[in-house]
Structure 1
Amino acid sequence: MVTGANQGLGRAVVAGLARAWGTRDIVYLTGRNRQRVEAAAAALAGDGLPVMPEVCDVRNDGEVRALARRIADRHGGVDFVDSNAAAGISPGVAYATQVGDLIDTNNLGTTAMIRSFGPLLRPGGRFVVTASDFGTLAGLPAHLHARFDTETMSIDDLDKTMLEYAAAVCSGAAAAQGWPDWINIASKIGQVAAVRIYARDRREQARQAGQLIVAVCPGLVDTRASRPWFTDMSKAQSPDAAAIDIVRLATSPVEPRMYGELVQHGRIRPWTGTALR
């Protein structure tokens, strides 16, 4: 299943999975607006790619848990999850008015998916969080690194950190605390931190079950959300091109070296922000 999938990258991932798996598997296309979700599913069906539409607002923990129960009842488990839902932010609009939805969607939505769908992951399954290359500690001053100590903190601790960050933005205290000016940076770091914590807690079970837990940086993608922030989109990928790496993670053999990491085009972007490997 893929969240945030009625448009852009999420829809392209759904299409790629449907092409790769055909009628052997059910691919769930989810989003928070029923009309847009059903329209996207109908359009893909018209292209010969039948998918299953489901409404799921990741900001609503109850909705996430309810969908997880329905999928568990229908199928017993899930083979692939792409936690892709992301809130767009707009230049020229005060961050204090945007940060709440950003954190609720990107961060609390990611951890809600981990809590509800992580236990449903079958042997050999893959849990992917779509993030970005901003999701490393290189984007933070050193004194804030302890806020994302993924070796010791829990998912609940991380949620608290992200809520405290949002409150600092709203109160005007974030700059004095040293947070980056662009709120997307802290959000992406929080998403990758969630993957690292979840992967740490599941490491032994995942190893035995042949599962992969990973964050993915697709690179610059030409979408409605990214266009306002970049004056030159000539080097941006189309959603279909960017989806290839994510579909490959779903359909290719698991690469243990990627476990718990942020991966871009098959290469690991280290958490500390040092050289790629």
Structure 2
Amino acid sequence: MNEMSKVALVTGATQGLGLALVEGLAQRLGPADTVYLTGRNLDRVQEAVDAMPAGGARVRGELLDVAEPAAAERLAAQLKSRHGGVDVVIGNAVMRVGPDDDPRRIVRDYVQVNNFGTTRLLRAFAPLLRDDARLLVVASSLGTLHQLAPVLHHRFDALESLDEVDRQVAAWRDAVADGSARSGAWPGFVNIPSKIAQVAAVRTLAAQRRETDLARGILLAAVCPGMINTPTSALWWNVADAPTPARAALALLDLVLGPVDPAHYGELVRGGKVLPWSPSDGAGQPIPYAAASRG
């Protein structure tokens, strides 16, 4: 990264992986640097900031509800005014789905956070990236076309704009909400199309920026942290042997602080390795959900 003071931002950072990422960044950056811990509840944001260990970079709390249409753009403008740009942005905000949730009832709120929240973050902060910056979206190993029936691959493959990603997400959302997705080829678990759409958003933006970003040392990628031992994950599976959030954060911090591998650019990365997007990419098979993601 460049030698000026670093500015980092993590969304969904009041607990779990996001909180661990903020703490890891703060420990690894210097006193002149700033790490923004953001979330949708200001009291929880402040509590998380107050609980941060001393030393390293300054941790500063900011309200950011990615489900609010103008929130990411508003905060990006504030950071541009304060710092002129950003060096690290990690999109980690997520609305989780529980075993008893009815997809038809929750899908509209779900995509507002997980999908439209992702594209809003990309639109707002990609223009602020300094040389050697990192822009990562926390997704899942579920976010590949291997998880989707071939008849649906065109919905998310080789899209031309983030607006088109949003249109495809909205069409799927509406099909879930009105029940018609059940009679089609869509997976019943809403997390699968949602994660695929997150990775599709990264791939779409990366296709537009690849040459310039790589020349500037910028990495744009989706990342899978794997299964994490959290109370939410425990609702679904036995996570007793899964890594803690702090341990799961280490591979993501390596991507942030290490040199850019051009092979990672625009891809879904897990444990330092690229996961193939589609069957035509070569190796890669559907991954059982319990092995794939935090949820």
TM-score (norm: length of structure 2): 0.90
Q: Which runs of 5+ in 1 are unaligned?
A: none
Identify the residue that residue 270 of structure 1 maps to in structure 2: 276
Aligned amino acid, residue 157 of structure 1: E
Per the alignment, residue 118 of structure 1 pairs with 126
Aligned to 2:95: 87
Shift of 1:241: 0.3
* Larger proportion of helix: 1
Query: 1:68 — aligned with what?
Result: 76
Could you tell me the percent identity over the aligned residues?
Answer: 44
1:130 equivalenced with 2:141 (yes/no):
no
Quote how far apart the aligned CAs of 1:207 are.
Answer: 1.8
Asked if the contact 2:29/2:56 (under 8 Å) is kept, the reply is no
Tell me if structure 1 keeps the 8 A contact 2:33–2:57: no
Partner amino acid for 2:208? Answer: D
More deviation, 137-146/266-275? 266-275
Task: Check conservation: 1:44, 1:50, Cα contact below 8 A.
Answer: no
Q: How does 1:1-277 map to 2 (within 5 A)?
A: 1-45=9-53, 50-150=58-158, 152-230=159-237, 232-272=238-278, 274-275=282-283
In 2, Cα distance between equivalents of 1:51 and 1:101 = 29
Separation in 1 of the partners of 2:202 and 2:208? Answer: 10
After TM superposition, give the deviation of residue 68 of structure 1 in Å. 0.3
Contact 2:33 / 2:58 at 8 angstroms: preserved in 1?
no
1:131 is aligned with what amino acid?
A
Helix, strand or coil at the partner of 1:226: helix
Q: Deviations over 1:195-247 (max 9, x none)?
A: 100100111211221110010010001123322111x1133110000000111
Check the 8 A contact 1:261/1:269 in 2, yes or no. yes
Following superposition, the deviation at residue 36 of structure 1 comes to: 0.5
Q: Quote the RMSD (CA, aligned, Å).
A: 1.4
Structure 1 stretch displaced more, 204-213 or 266-275: 266-275
- Tell me the matched-pair count: 274
User: 8 Å contact 1:134–1:185 — kept in the other structure?
Assistant: yes
CA contact (8 A) 2:27 2:55 kept: no
